[in-house]
Amino acid sequence: MKNLKQKYCIVGVGNTAYGKNPGISQIAHNVLAIRSALEDAGLTTQDLDGVLTKAPTSTFPMLWGPKIAEALRIQPKVTATLDQAGASNIGLIQYAISAIELGQAEVIAISYGDNPRTGTRASYARPRGDDALAGLFGAPSSYAMVAKRHMHEYGTTNEQLANVAIAHRTHASMNPGAQFQELFTVDDYMSSRWVAEPFRLLDCCPVSDGGAAYIITTEEKAKELKKLPVYIEGIGQAHPSWDFYRRPELATSGAKIAGKMAFKSAGLRPADIDFCEIYDCFTIVPLISLEEYGFVDKGEGGSFYEEQRTHIGGELPCNTSGGLLSETGMPGTQLVVEAVRQLRGEGQDRQVKGAEVGLVSQQGGIMTTHATMLLSNQGIHK
C-alpha cells in the first residue's frame, strides 16, 4: 500500500454465534459483532466515526449503514453499503482506508450479519441469471456448471473436490465455534446425495445465521490499543462478469487479476504467504482460486488438495477455521476475522505456527466479483 500517507491496521475483530441462532435479528448480528470487535480492540462505540456494511444476502434493505449506526446509538461521519456480494468484505476495507486518508474518519467498523437459517431464505433458491425457464435455480447449480467445465478441461475429480471439503472440515474440528465439526471421509462424501451434478451435498456450504465485524484504523492509533495490530499490506479486486456463463473462460475467476494487484501493492509474492483464508461457498472455488493466484499451475488445484498440502502443518494451510464449508456459510466477513486471529497467534488448536503473512480471498455472485487482501503482523514496509 505505497503512496498512502500512513499505514492501516485491523485492530479489533468479533462475531456472534454461527449456525442456528433463533431470535437474533439481522440488525442484532451486526450490532453485537461490532460491539464485540470494539471490545476486542479496547474501544467503545463513541470512538467509531464510520460504519460500513455488506447488505444481508437474504434480503436487500435500503440505508443499511445508517440503520446499524442508529442501532449502535452513534451518528457516524461515514457510512456505505457495497454491492459486490461476497467480495464486499474487502472492498469495504478499501473504502475505509480511503475515508481515513481523506481525513473524514479515524476509526471505522465493517460488519455483516444475517439470519437466513432461522429467518427467510427465499432468495437462496431464486433463479440464477435471467431465465427461470432454463431451470437454473439456486447457487449450487451455477457453481456446479463452473465445476463441470473445470473437470472437462483439467480432469478434476469428485474425489479431489471431496478433499477440499475434508481439509476444511478437519480444521473446523479444531474450532469450537464452527457450525460443523464432525469429520468425514471421501466415502462419506461420495455417498452424500446429489444436489446438482457434479455437486453433492458436501460440496455446498451450509445456510447459517451469524454476524462478524472488524475495526480499521491508522497504524498510529493502532499502537495505542491493546491488541497486536494486523497490517493491511495490499488489496486488489476484479469483476469478470455478471451472468457467470457469459465469462469467456468459465473455469477461471477474478482471483488472477485481483491477486496480482494485491501482491503488487504489498510488494509480496505468493511464496511469502504463510496461510490463506479463501471464500469456499462450494468446493470448486478455493481450488480454482489457488490456481488463479499462481500457488499451483492451472489444473493442479485438485491434486494439491488431494495431497493434503492445504492442511494445517502442510505447505500452505488454507481455511484454518473451516471456511464457509464448515465454520459458517456466511459470505466471507468471518474469513477476515480468522486471518486476524491467526496473525495475532490466537488460533489456539488450529494456530498456523509462525504465521506472519496471510491472504484473504473473497468472491461473490458466481465467481463474478473478486477481492484479495494481504495481511501481516510485522509492518513489512517499515
**Which residues in this chain contact another protein in the complex, by CB under 8 A?**
125, 129-138, 140-141, 144-146, 148-149, 152, 193-199, 245-246, 250
Distance of closest approach, residue 191 Cβ to another protein, in angstroms: 14
The three three-digit cell numbers of residue 37, written as one number = 470487535
Distance of closest approach, residue 50 Cβ to another protein, in angstroms: 38
Buried b (16+ CB within 10 A) or exposed e, 318-327: bbbbbbbbbb
Element (H, E) at 190: helix 186-191
Which residue lies nearer to another protein by CB, 113 or 302? 302
Distance of closest approach, residue 200 Cβ to another protein, in angstroms: 9
Which residue lies nearer to another protein by CB, 157 or 173? 157
Which residue lies nearer to another protein by CB, 122 or 183? 122
Which residue lies nearer to another protein by CB, 134 or 190? 134
Cβ proximity of 353 and 317 under 8 Å: no
The three three-digit cell numbers of residue 206, written as one number = 451450509
Distance, CA of 107 to CA of 96 (rounded, Å): 9
Which residue lies nearer to another protein by CB, 152 or 264? 152
Distance of closest approach, residue 147 Cβ to another protein, in angstroms: 8
Which residue lies nearer to another protein by CB, 146 or 230? 146
Which residue lies nearer to another protein by CB, 49 or 292? 292
Distance of closest approach, residue 382 Cβ to another protein, in angstroms: 48
Element (H, E) at 278: strand 275-278
Distance of closest approach, residue 317 Cβ to another protein, in angstroms: 31
3-class DSSP state for residue 359? strand
3-class DSSP state for residue 134? helix
Write phi, then psi, for 109 (nearest 5 degrees): -100, 140
Only one residue has cell 429467518, namely 119
Which residue lies nearer to another protein by CB, 138 or 177? 138
Distance of closest approach, residue 42 Cβ to another protein, in angstroms: 47
Nearest to 325 by CA among 280, 276, 275, 288: 280
Strands 210-218, 78-81: pairing kind: unpaired
CB atoms within 10 A of CB 247: 18
Write phi, then psi, for 349 (nearest 5 degrees): -60, -20
Distance of closest approach, residue 252 Cβ to another protein, in angstroms: 13
Nearest to 338 by CA among 218, 204, 217, 210: 210
Distance, CA of 90 to CA of 94 (rounded, Å): 7
Nearest to 360 by CA among 328, 331, 329: 331
CA angle 109, 111, 113 (to 5 degrees): 155
Which residue lies nearer to another protein by CB, 33 or 202? 202
The three three-digit cell numbers of residue 246, written as one number = 457469459
Distance of closest approach, residue 300 Cβ to another protein, in angstroms: 20
